[in-house]
Amino acid sequence: MFRVKICVKNYIKTKRDVFIWSSTEGLKKNLKDGQESVNNGNEPIDALNFIDNYNNPAILILKDIHPLLGLNNRNADYNLIRKIRDVAGSLKNAEVSKNVVIIAPSLVLPLELQKDITVVDFDLPTLDEIKSLLNEMIEMNESSGIVIDLKEDEKEVLCKAAQGLTLQEAEKGFGGNGGERDGGTATRVFGTFLTWMSEKTKPVFVIATANNINALPSEMLRKGRFDEIFFVDLPTKAERKVIFKLHLEKRLKGSISKDFAVTDTLLNKLAEITEGFAGAEIEQVVISALFEAFSENRTLNKEDLYKVINNTVPLSTTQSEQILAIREWANERAVAATAHDESYNYVPEETQEQIERKKKEKKSTETVKKARGGRTIDF
């Protein structure tokens, strides 16, 4: 978007009103002090209708429509393609200057639109553009109370190190060490990050989360970078009780079911019958139970919660093999995030009974529910 602004500024000299459409926010008008929503602009066709009927010089920027044009062999929206062609012809003969700009990470140009659309392929950003972006990011952070203490020569070094990247690649670099997919960009960014972690002198405490730790390279996990790995297993009974209490109080506050009694007896019962449920699944139990009550135009009762629980198949059942594999990995390599006294009631991962069972069959979902992984440590 930053480079689009520069391009528009360089090539369009007349003053225009700017409208931006995205799939998440609909149609909005750019103002000096922010944006304002435009009514009836939730769909791209609505936005095209709006710009076609707008009586002042304007630019419409469309985001997120490339999937609708047939990205990755998806079915194209031919009504949208037809509308783009109609508006393209209309704007050429309009009494005031109006343009439509389509922003897309991938070039998707149906045959029907090839004569109506001019493709502008951006080169890699220049050093000045990277500096402008860096200064803009610093200003945004400082306006939020976050002070960025960078001298001009430090900015210069940082911007030169970023040359060769697109303005989005720095953000993507931390999403995975996928150097084979992006020409080595992520590998370079990842290497810079590792060096910084090893050599930083400022008191910065780095915390990261990962769903699949096997995807992380070993050099990131050594002492001096991430000094300890904690394994967050399925919640214990005591933890499930707290999670239920948190979500019930959060969702019931201010609702028609605000008088629903969240008693210790109820929490114990809910925690007892949700062995193997993850925290997110417990949250969805509460949400689904509220929907159940809402559909019948009444307040929540405990039977709604029990019904949803009985109808839920947790990940500990559908993904038991994967959970067991992660737990086995964590038993020697990670510290259990659950306090030792809370996981004490769970049998160790490797009982003699389980060893014998492994010889006959795969580990069952029962094993997932009756054990917790990760080693304990004294702080």
The predicted pLDDT at position 244 comes to 95
Tokens 């001019």 correspond to 118
Helix/strand/coil for 108: coil
The predicted pLDDT at position 173 comes to 39
Contact 374, 230 (CB under 8 A): yes
CA distance 103 to 125: 16
Chain centroid to Cα 170, Å, comes to 16
Please name the amino acid found at residue 195. Answer: T
The predicted pLDDT at position 47 comes to 92
CA distances 304 to 60, 148, 283, 288, Å, are 48, 51, 14, 8
Interstrand relation of 58-62 and 34-37 (parallel, antiparallel or unpaired) = unpaired
The predicted pLDDT at position 110 comes to 86
The predicted pLDDT at position 8 comes to 56
The predicted pLDDT at position 186 comes to 59
Contact 334, 300 (CB under 8 A): no
DSSP per-residue codes, 74-91: PPP-HHHHHHHHHHHHHH
Q: Which residues have CB under 8 Å from 265's CB, separation 6+?
A: none
Tokens 């700009």 correspond to 101
Please name the amino acid found at residue 345. Answer: N
The predicted pLDDT at position 163 comes to 74
The predicted pLDDT at position 109 comes to 83
Work out whether the CA dihedral 293, 294, 295, 296 comes out positive or negative: positive
Spell out the domains of the chain, with CATH numbers in brackets.
Answer: 2-113 (no CATH), 228-379 (1.10.8.60)
Q: Which residues have CB under 8 Å from 300's CB, separation 6+?
A: 252, 257, 260, 289, 290, 293
Among 361, 342, 344, residue whose Cα is nearest residue 353: 361
pLDDT by 10s per residue, the chain, length 379: 555 555 555 556 678 899 999 888 889 998 888 888 888 778 899 999 999 999 999 999 998 888 888 887 788 889 999 999 999 999 988 888 898 998 887 777 888 888 888 887 777 778 888 788 778 777 876 776 667 777 888 788 877 777 777 666 544 433 344 444 455 555 666 777 777 777 778 888 888 888 777 777 777 777 777 888 888 899 999 999 999 999 999 999 888 888 899 999 999 999 999 999 999 999 999 999 999 999 999 999 999 999 999 999 998 998 888 888 888 888 888 888 887 766 656 655 555 555 665 555 454 555 666 777 766 665 5
* Maximum Cα interatomic distance, the chain, rounded to a whole number of Å: 84
Contact 103, 143 (CB under 8 A): no
* CB atoms closer than 10 angstroms to residue 363: 19
The predicted pLDDT at position 350 comes to 55
CA distance 234 to 346: 12
Assessment of whether the complete model's pTM goes beyond 0.85 = no
- Packing angle of the helix pair 237-252, 264-272 (nearest 10 deg): 120
Contact 213, 229 (CB under 8 A): yes
Helix/strand/coil for 170: helix
